Chain A
Amino acid sequence: MTSFCGCRESHNSDQKPVPWDRLWEEKNLAQTLTGAEGLTSIPALLHRNVTEFGSSPAYREKEFGIWQTWTWTETAKEIEALALGLINLGVNEGDFVAIIGRNRPYLYWSMVAAQMVGAIPVPLYQDANAEEMAYVLGHCGARFVIVSDQEQVDKVIEVQDQLHQFEHMIYLDPRGLRKYDHSHLHQYSHVQNQGRAARDEFINELKRRSEKPGYDDTCVMLYTSGTTGKPKGVVLSNRNVIESARSSSDFDQLRREDEILAYLPMAWVGDFIFSLGQAFWCGFCVNCPESADTMMTDLREIGPTYYFAPPRVFETQLTNVMIRMEDASPLKKRMFDHYMAHARKVGPDILDGKPVSAADKLKYRIGELLVYGPLKNTLGFSRVRVGYTAGEAIGPEIFDFYRSLGINLKQLYGQTEATVFITAQPDGEVRSDTVGVPSPGVELKIADNGEVFYRSPGVFVEYYKNPESTADTKDAEGWVATGDAGFIEESTGHLRIIDRAKDVGKMADGSLFAPKYVENKLKFYPNILEAVVFGNGREQCTAFINIDLSAVGNWAERNNIAYASYQELAGHPHVLDTIQSHVEEVNASVAEDDMLSGCQVHRFVVLHKELDADDGELTRTRKVRRRIIEEKFADIIDALYDGSPKVSTVTEVTYEDGRKGNIKATLEIRDAKVVPVVPQKVAAQ
């Protein structure tokens, strides 16, 4: 059992914030420690921003081809008009107001307006279907729903019979809604106009309500995406949100001049913290894209300084760059290859401020002029000062590519229940295989089974109307179970997440077995599409491998290797050699980990068929179903462990038209070199 306490000082001491930042930080710190000046809610922060820098831009949205800007003062006026309109419509304190739509300033304002009138905003995923929405709307008993357009209006109308508390819906875009029954349907701008008209009548009521929320009152309720079971409503207090926003803004020295692009779902906790929490805390400007399709163009036009994206987005962008470079002129391509090689060599070190020779520095500068600068500009990353990726493991090459260009891309680890931040990587301590040190104010502990627990000011209040789940997740002392297994590197204090806790097991010798950790390492090779590692309760690990037909097929074509089917290519000796070398490289890398060195793959087989959701081997989101695979391929697993060099097998497959058939195959089982395990573990065995 390891335990670790969050401790920021050691990291702060070697950084040199500009005096202005220091001042700002100290001032803010003083404010929140005592809750002074009443900065205990988002509306209170709005008031402060208007008073202190009302003419700075607060929101921007591209519409009709032009970036429209609202200053903090204008934003406050819009929000006030809507809040008055909501009172006029009959929103009571404690009501839930659901908000559904893509990232638009108006919808962010809706959340703040709801808070001002004492209601609780509940943002929903806009791509949820009507039934999923019915569950969430029914669960929180939303009386009011604010939506973006006809599509969302239709979904709510479809299920409104199931929603007993639902009363009024407000929509932004009137298009296509002219003919709808407007007895319970209101246009956003009309609600605002009515609010403005009734200002004298309701302004005192609004003042009373907006000053009332305390630090421990509910700020927002966010539903978990519900991949397992029904979505749960995570209740976050003003304390959760403001403390998290404050400490995370300090951590990365976010400031008023920063710019972000709000494009991730509004129902996701990250967007709430970035686009409302931190934006209101620091007073920076939130930019909303014109439409979902224009996100990349808008990214380039805005050039955010603070940027967040899941690994998938970075992957896609890198692939696009590579494809376009393939089509570039030979001169450009050679220049790109040459300078990218140099960037890979010294770029990350320069970014981290490590010593680099003057010649290398000069060459990097030239590269910046010729390649990196224009490339970053094309990607929209010219101004990124702080970039984060999170959610799943990011491939080391992808991660290094962006860092070598001089983009300060870092990883963080978080959850809705933690108000995002559990750990984050400080500048200068960035690696692709860790998720960083505990965020300010976060304590971590690792349970015996490897599961990561945390405690912080951001820990959620409760799951709404679900005390059992709350008790299962959060104990009396405030420790929250993440459901992920990991460990803390003793040398650096960084947390490393290895797998979902329920998948982590023990090898026969008692060492940790983390299949996904090894599988991810294998899958980072383009030739390997899917990998399944076995070894729970056994003495050795073994693996199933699926080759990536497009990558390996491409290789075969270039090398004049003829093949007629996936099965034939998968069994080709050259292919097996390549895969074997990948497995051995992974073994070497796994062996470097004291905790996980037992997970090296001793034997593997390249499967004769692709694991497929139609055969039940994968989920529809392409996650491996271990139990089903273990049952279905029991004969192959036996062969992996009994030392036989070959195995003959028959597998039932489902064709796309639903017919079933059998594939017969004789598979070669390969032994992979393993790096000897650390002596004390052998002794334990």
Chain B
Amino acid sequence: MLDTSEGYTTADGRKIGGVVMEMKNITLRFGGVKAITDISFDIREGEIRAIIGPNGAGKSSMLNVMSGFYVPQEGEVWFHGKPRPPLKPYEVARQGIARTFQNIALFEGMSVLDNVMTGRLTQMKTGLLAQSIWKGRAEKEETENREIAEKVIDFLEIQAIRKTPVSRLPYGLKKRVELARALAAEPKLLLLDEPMAGMNVEEKEDMSRFILDVNDEFGTTIALIEHDMGVVMDLSDRVVVMDYGKKIGDGTPDEVRNNQEVIDAYLGVEHD
């Protein structure tokens, strides 16, 4: 088993640093339903960490705990070496965490550019009045933020739809716009909830390339949930496997692939 206590070097030569986020014995209940039972794992700086598991395994709940949207009944989320108290969503965003959603959550009536600009909101400091007059600091601020938004648009190759209302876009592109909005926040930690769900092979390949490029270019730490095993194995450095709210495997893609419990969870096992 790969020793990850001091950081490690991936197969393709990337240096993975210290722990960014650590989940310590997380248990999450909705009433009587236990969504997550006593799960611990860590996410290290610069790595692509995948969470996989069959339907209903608790993956999205896990991501919501990580993003601070759910507060677990037991256990702690450590962020940058400190336990993280329950936070408001904008406070999470200010800490450098951005996410995308399994069911796209964009502003449908707004253009792609405006949607991406909303990713910059937490960085904008001028008030309503200054923004309405749009002189001096507000103008300068918008220019600076627009520049960052445009770089993201260029990076994700969505220049051609910059001014298109999101409602007119096909599904695959909406997913990309969502990623763009998350990237516009210049996150340190990017959480992707099924970034490739419902895509065709070509769109999946494009999205995989973008995820790898984001990690490579900006050094962004990425945690993603994904169903497509092929994609997960190609993309990620380490994989957490969940089943029925429990962690049943954790390690490199190869280790996970050969883990008997994981095979059973995915292929099914005969019960006596």
Spell out A's residues near B (CB within 8 Å). Answer: 62-66, 175-176, 178-179, 290-291, 293-294, 297
Residue among A64, A176, A178, A291 facing the most chain B CB atoms (10 A cut-off): A64
Residues of B140-170 at the interface with A, using a CB-CB cut-off of 8 Å, are 146-147, 150-151, 153-155, 157, 159-160, 162
B202 within 8 A of A: no
Question: With A and B bound together, what is the CA distance between A178 and B212 in angstroms?
Answer: 12
B264 within 8 A of A: no
Residue B254 interfacial (CB < 8 Å)? no
Task: Give A176's nearest chain B residue, CB to CB.
Answer: B213
Q: Are A293 and B13 in contact (CB under 8 A)?
A: no
What separation, in Å, do the CA atoms of A175 and B152 have in the docked complex? 13
Contact between B154 and A64 (Cβ–Cβ < 8 Å)? Answer: yes
B147 and A179 within 8 A (CB): no
CA of A449 to CA of B56, assembled, Å: 76
Find B13's partner among A179, A290, A294, A297 (CB 8 Å cutoff).
A179
B213 engages A294 (CB within 8 Å): no
Taking A63-B154, A64-B147, A65-B153 as contacts, is the C-beta distance between A175 and B213 under 8 angstroms? yes
Q: Whole-angstrom distance between the alpha carbons of A66 and B150 in the complex?
A: 9
- The reply to whether A293 and B159 form a contact with Cβ atoms under 8 Å apart is yes
The contact sample of 20 A-B pairs, CB cut-off 8 A, is: A64-B147, A64-B150, A64-B151, A64-B153, A64-B154, A65-B113, A65-B146, A65-B159, A175-B155, A176-B212, A176-B213, A176-B217, A178-B216, A179-B12, A290-B159, A291-B157, A291-B159, A293-B160, A294-B159, A297-B160
A-B contact count (CB 8 A): 39
Whole-angstrom distance between the alpha carbons of A335 and B190 in the complex?
52
**Chain A nearest Cβ from B157, distance in angstroms:** 7
B interface with A by C-beta (< 8 Å): 12-14, 113, 146-147, 150-151, 153-155, 157, 159-160, 162, 209, 212-213, 216-217
Name the distance in Å between A580's Cβ and chain B's nearest Cβ.
43
Taking the closest CB of chain B, its distance from the CB of A174, in whole angstroms, is: 9
Q: Is the CB–CB distance between A65 and B12 below 8 Å?
A: no
Compute how far the CA of A67 lies from the CA of B216 in the bound complex, rounded to whole angstroms. 28
With contacts A176-B213, A178-B216, A179-B13 taken as known, whether A294 is within 8 angstroms of B160 at the C-beta atoms is yes
Chain A residues whose CB sits within 8 angstroms of the CB of B159 once the complex forms? 62, 65, 290-291, 293-294
**B147, B151, B154, B155: residue with the most chain A Cβ atoms closer than 10 Å:** B154
When distances are taken between beta carbons in the complex, the residues of chain A under 8 Å from B154 are 63-64
17 extra interchain contacts, Cβ-Cβ under 8 A, other than A291-B157, A293-B157, A297-B160?
A: A63-B154, A64-B151, A64-B153, A64-B154, A65-B113, A65-B146, A65-B153, A66-B150, A176-B209, A176-B213, A176-B217, A179-B12, A179-B13, A179-B216, A290-B159, A291-B159, A291-B160
Chain B contact residues: over half helix, strand or loop, or mixed?
Answer: helix
Is the beta-carbon distance between B13 and A65 smaller than 8 angstroms? Answer: no
Whole-angstrom CA separation of A62 from B113 in the bound complex: 16
What's the nearest-Cβ distance from chain B to residue A66, in Å? 8
Cβ-closest chain B residue relative to A292: B160
A574 shortest CB reach to chain B, Å: 39
Roughly how many angstroms separate A537 CA and B217 CA in the complex, as a whole number? 67
Once the chains are docked, how many angstroms separate the CA of A64 from the CA of B147? Answer: 7
In the complex, which residues of chain A have a beta carbon less than 8 angstroms from the beta carbon of B217? 175-176, 178
Of A65, A175, A291, which one neighbours B150 at CB under 8 angstroms?
Answer: A65
- With most chain A CB atoms within 10 A of its CB, the pick from B160, B162, B217 is B160
A290–B161 alpha-carbon span in the complex (Å): 12
Residues of A within 8 A of B146 (CB): 65
* Shortest Cβ gap from A119 to chain B (Å): 31
| Bound Cα distance A59, B62 (Å) | 51
Give Cα A63–Cα B147 distance, bound, in whole angstroms: 11
With contacts A176-B213, A176-B216 taken as known, whether A65 is within 8 angstroms of B162 at the C-beta atoms is yes
Q: How far is the CB of B229 from chain A (nearest CB, A)?
A: 24
Across the two chains, which residue of chain B brings its CB closest to A174?
B217
Point out which of A65, A178, A179 has the most chain B C-beta atoms below 10 A from its C-beta: A65
Nearest residue (CB) in B for A291 is B159
Residues on the B chain within 8 Å of A63, using CB: 154
Bound complex: CA of A176 vs CA of B209, how far in Å? Answer: 9
Q: What B residues does A294 contact at CB under 8 A?
A: 159-160
List 7 tightest A-B contacts by C-beta distance, closest first: A293-B160, A64-B150, A294-B160, A65-B150, A290-B159, A294-B159, A291-B159
Name the B residues within 8 Å of A290 (CB-CB).
159-160
Which residues does chain A contribute within 8 Å of B113, judged by CB atoms? 65
Name the B residues within 8 Å of A62 (CB-CB).
159
- Distance of A297 Cα from B164 Cα, bound (Å): 12
Q: Closest residue of chain A to B158, judged by CB?
A: A293
A65 CA to B147 CA, complexed, in Å:
9
Q: Within 8 Å CB of B150, what residues of A?
A: 64-66
CB distance from A604 to the nearest CB of B (A): 42
Complex Cα spacing A62 to B209, Å: 24
Give Cα A535 to B150, complex, Å.
60
CB distance from B9 to the nearest CB of A (A): 12
Q: Which residues of B contact A179 (CB under 8 A)?
A: 12-14, 216
Q: Which residue of A lies closest to B113 (CB)?
A: A65
Query: What chain B residues lie within 8 Å of A64 (beta carbons)?
Result: 147, 150-151, 153-154
Please, which residues of chain B bring their CB within 8 A of the CB of A176?
209, 212-213, 216-217
Residues from chain A with a CB closer than 8 A to the CB of B213 are 175-176
Residue of B nearest to A290 (CB): B159
A294 to B161, CA, bound (A): 8
**B209 CB to closest chain A CB, in angstroms?**
8
